[in-house]
Amino acid sequence: MVSVRSLTLQQRLTVYLLLPVAMMLLAAGALGFLKARETILREWREAALLSLERATHEVDMKLGESLELIQAFQQSLEETGDPHIQSWILAQLRRQEWVKEVKWSRANGKGTSGRVQTPANIHPHDRDSLQEGGFRPLYEMEVDLEKGILKLESSVRASNGEPLGTVAVTMDLHGLLGDALRYGWRESEQACLVDQEGRFIAHAGTLMTSRGRLGENGDPLEMAILSHIKVDPSGTIWGPGMPPELIAGFHRLQKAPWTMILFAKGKDVLAPVLGFRDYYLLALAVAAAAILLTIRLVIGPRAKMIQELCEVAGEVARGNYVSMAEARGQDEISRLVKSFNEMIEGLKERDLLTNTFGRYVDHEIAKEILRKPEAMRLGGQKRTVAIMIADLRGFTPLAESLTPEKTIQILNRFFGMAIEIIRKHRGIIVDFFGDSVLSFFDPIEEPVRQAALSGLRCAFEMQQAMAPLNEANRRAGLPVLQVGVGLHAGEVIVGNIGSESRAKYGIVGSAVNLTHRIQQLAGPGEVVVSDDLYREAEDWLRPKASSEVSLKGVQKPMRIHWVEEKRRSVP
């Protein structure tokens, strides 16, 4: 159970103000709901009984219409004996949508479903009896549930009881019940006719078409209907639940010993009640929202600020540097938020330098690059830089004779030395591949000569640093190493390379490949430069050799220089 002391200020106000108001609104709404439901249900029951009566009357009318035509046919035999009138009456019977077959059979065994035999063909005794009007009509009903038909038979007898013939009318039970749903409840989905024992006579709809008897599945609603139709002429019955799954209404027919039953879903019948309930709950929610809004406007801003500060601190602990919105005001919370945002900006800048430029770029150089807005956009811009590739000579065959541990140890020693010297001369390391390191020297907004001089100073110092490195290797029992360095000054694309989630600051372009080709010409302990870079710094370089060479991927021969540093101060 949550203790009140553990709640925040905003939560306490919500509990103390919202809970009492909500309880009062709920109590008032419950009373109003019960009263409204009683009124709505009373009106529905009255309308439902009227609809049931109308639907039952429609079925009674269909049966009555057929019986009246049969009565008229009998009377025509008595009064006129006109075969045309009799044929017309039978034709009217056949025109009824629910009538499938009409047949008149004389007592002598001959029958017709077309023109009726004239009274002249009847035995004179029979004809006299008809003229006296002494016949008595008898109606018999026969239901065939499998075929879905109702057969009405009316026997014509003379006054002495002698049978004269039989009129047989076969009706479609489903057609007889077809308009029950249209004239019944608006919400009803199923109508059926049952006898006094609950046997299904006909169906309209698909809810119970596979059933044979009402209540055979033990459903409490159907059992209640079965008991009521035996004693009451009409009524409505609700199923269990609220709202009930089904609601039923029944009404007894006048022309047959049957009862019509309508079924409807409870949620459809109770839609007005449920709608009132939903609207009231909506009004209650609006009132609660108004109270919450008042609390939020008065106390919420400061409470939310503290909560947000706690959440953001958790995000920062997970490495997600999310700043808070600037706080207005001069109170202690606003000043705390301002100090927190300054701390986040410092952490973001530190990680930005590490993630973008790695651990191998001097932070001062990285900050200088980041002052340019375009530096952080994916892509870059073309400019001329000095490119350097330093490669260990003969290391690949040497590594085959060493253990993996010693191979990694040698590489780490060499790369550690190279990284320090490159950073010292403001170089930017792009990548390590195998036993080589690729770096470049960006003049940024200065002439490319400065970048060329930085690259050359870095290359010569790296060659000089190999002596102490090899001495340390000897003491550690490791082999001696030699490095070859190639430099070139050329145009490349400088900028962020990668995706929004992971990028690094580097260079791409044909000048990088050209530098790699030049580096391959450098022997152990040599520095080889392109003619483009040589012209930028020839005043303090001493060429050891120069040559026109054809490089792979380059159409024209290029002039390459093997150089060493002049023994004078570097400009």
The alpha-helical segments, DSSP class H, found in 215-331 are 220-229, 266-269, 271-298, 300-317
* Alpha-carbon span 525 to 530, nearest angstrom: 17
* Alpha-carbon span 47 to 248, nearest angstrom: 14
471 pLDDT tier (thresholds 50, 70, 90):
very high
- The pLDDT of residue 154 is 78
Which residue type does 555 have? Answer: Q
Those residues whose C-beta lies under 8 Å from the C-beta of residue 102, and which sit 6 or more positions away, are 90, 93, 94, 113, 167, 168, 169, 170
Given 3.40.1130, 3.40.50, 3.30.70, 3.30.450, which CATH number is that of 11-168? 3.30.450
Residue 118 or 313, more confident: 313
Tell me if 302 sits within 8 A of 333, measured CB to CB: yes
* Alpha-carbon span 156 to 107, nearest angstrom: 9
Which residue type does 411 have? Answer: L
User: Is the pLDDT at 126 greater than 60, yes or no?
Assistant: no
Residue 315 or 168, more confident: 168
DSSP E strand boundaries for 373-508? 379-392, 428-433, 436-441, 483-498, 503-508
Tell me if 234 sits within 8 A of 251, measured CB to CB: yes
What is the radius of gyration, based on Cα positions, of the chain?
53
CATH annotation of 358-565: 3.30.70.1230
Which of 172, 209, 175 has the alpha carbon at shortest distance from 189?
A: 209
Matching fold, domains 11-168 and 358-565:
no
- The pLDDT of residue 370 is 54
Each domain of the chain, given as residue ranges in start order, spans 11-168, 180-268, 299-353, 358-565
User: Is the pLDDT at 116 greater than 60, yes or no?
Assistant: no
- The pLDDT of residue 437 is 94
pLDDT digits (tens, 9 = 90+) for 127-159: 333 333 333 444 677 777 667 777 777 776 655
Is CATH 3.40.1840 the classification given to domain 180-268? yes
Share of the chain above pLDDT 70, in %: 71
